[in-house]
Copies of this chain bind each other. A is one copy, B any other.
Amino acid sequence: MKSYEPVHPKYKEYTEYKISLNRFMHELGFVIDVIRPGYTSGYLVFHPKHAQQNGWLHGGITAAILDMVEGFAAYSLVPEGQQVFTVDARVAYYNPGIADKFYARGWVDKPGKRFHFCEGELYYLDNAGNEVIVAKGTSTMAIK
């Protein structure tokens, strides 16, 4: 994960503002609590409403959360007033999502003027405290 210089001084407030408007994220219960230039991370406390047919975390929620941590990572690295749109995104499902709490992080892997290429991971912690990656995301985010 690379670290970047802030693109403008209020990158954090700007990203927080965009997050505050994201109604579905709040509906889901996903919380972003870390914002750095080109990086965001957060967590979801699992509730049965998040389940697919086996009672595990729904892959669609995994995709949605990766879209958010990657998209807001991109937002934290654009000039004020510019917007970010997902052009396309891939999610690879590494392990079933069976846990009480999930974590996710997204980052800009390659910044650009027209696009940011982003990546992300959703994971949980096993009993030994090791990260178990549930899914890995890669996406192309357009800036305009």
Contacts and interface: CB of A to CB of B under 8 A. Distances in A.
By secondary structure, the A interface counts as: mixed
Nearest to A17: B53
B53 A64 contact: no
A55 B53 CA distance: 29
Given A23-B51, A86-B93, 14 more contacts: A21-B53, A21-B54, A23-B49, A25-B58, A59-B64, A60-B68, A87-B140, A88-B93, A88-B140, A89-B91, A94-B117, A109-B136, A110-B133, A138-B138
Nearest to A65: B60
Contact of A18 (B19, B53, B64, B142): B53
A140 B93 CA distance: 10
A7 interface: no
A48 interface: yes
A138 B90 contact: yes
Nearest to A18: B53
Nearest to A19: B53
A22 interface: yes
A133 B117 CA distance: 12
